[in-house]
Structures are given as structure tokens and as C-alpha cells.
Amino acid sequence: MQNEIRIKIRRLRPEIDSDIPLPRYMTDQAAGMDIYAAVTSPLVLAPGQIAMVPTGFAIALPEGFEAQIRPRSGLAARFGVTLVNSPGTIDADYRGEIKVALINLGPAAHTINRSDRIAQMVIQPVWRGCWELADSLEETGRDGGGFGHTGR
């Protein structure tokens, strides 16, 4: 059985966006809800172009949660269209329109049409860090080894 939390959602322009589906899970076990483009006309993303794509909705997350906006694997694999900031974070106190920062990393222009599935949204609990200043840190087998330190 899946865990569920109640999240308020509001259509920002119901008079023009009532045809845009609200975020929804496409399968019973999906972790992310597909979200849809609320563009008023086709948006052509040229190679290398970034666009903020409207979704037409805002949400009110409960305190202690975030919404992560993630790429759709099909768009990324087939066309090279992904998110500039992945994952994007929607904080619990944000009430503005959720927009998706898409970039076309593919070799050809890609058109985003009204109601296209453009990203997915995953709801996650948030832990806040509390710093504890220390004079030293416990040693590990890795210690300061960074990028490429394992030789792969």
C-alpha cells in the first residue's frame, strides 16, 4: 500500500486551462506524477534553448514536504529535452505557479504542445540539517577522494 498525503492544488487560470489535466500518476506504482504544459500555442525549443513552461497550477504542500520536479525519461532519451535544474525543488511555502525549466539538448528543434507531458513531480519528506561544528571528522576509507577517485 502506498503512503498518501493530502495536497491542495489550485488552477490559476480555470477559464482557459480547464482542459489541462492536473498532475496524475500514470500507473499504480509510479513514484512521480506527470505534469502537463499549459502553453497557449506550440512552443518550439531550438537546440540549446531554455524555456520556462507554465503548468497552470499552484500547490500548498504540508510543512515538512517538498515537490521535486524531474525530467521525463522518454523526452530526454528520444529528443534530448530535459530540465535545466534537475531536480527542481518546490518548497512547502511556495504558492506561485509551478513552471518547468526545459532545455533542448538534442540535435533538432522540439515542439511542446498544449497538454504535453513535460516533467514529473515527486513528493518527498524533507529533513533539515542542523550544523554541529567539529574540530575533526571521523576518517573513512574514502576520506577526501572526489571525482574519479575509484579509477572508473
Looking at domain 26-125, its CATH architecture is: Distorted Sandwich (2.70)
**DSSP one-letter code for 62:** P
- The three-class DSSP label of residue 19 is coil
Strand partners, 54: 99
Q: Where are the domains of the chain?
A: 26-125
* pLDDT tens, the chain, 152 aa long: 578 999 999 999 999 999 999 999 999 999 999 999 999 999 999 999 999 999 999 999 999 999 999 999 999 999 999 999 999 999 999 999 999 999 999 999 999 999 999 999 999 999 999 999 999 999 988 777 677 666 66
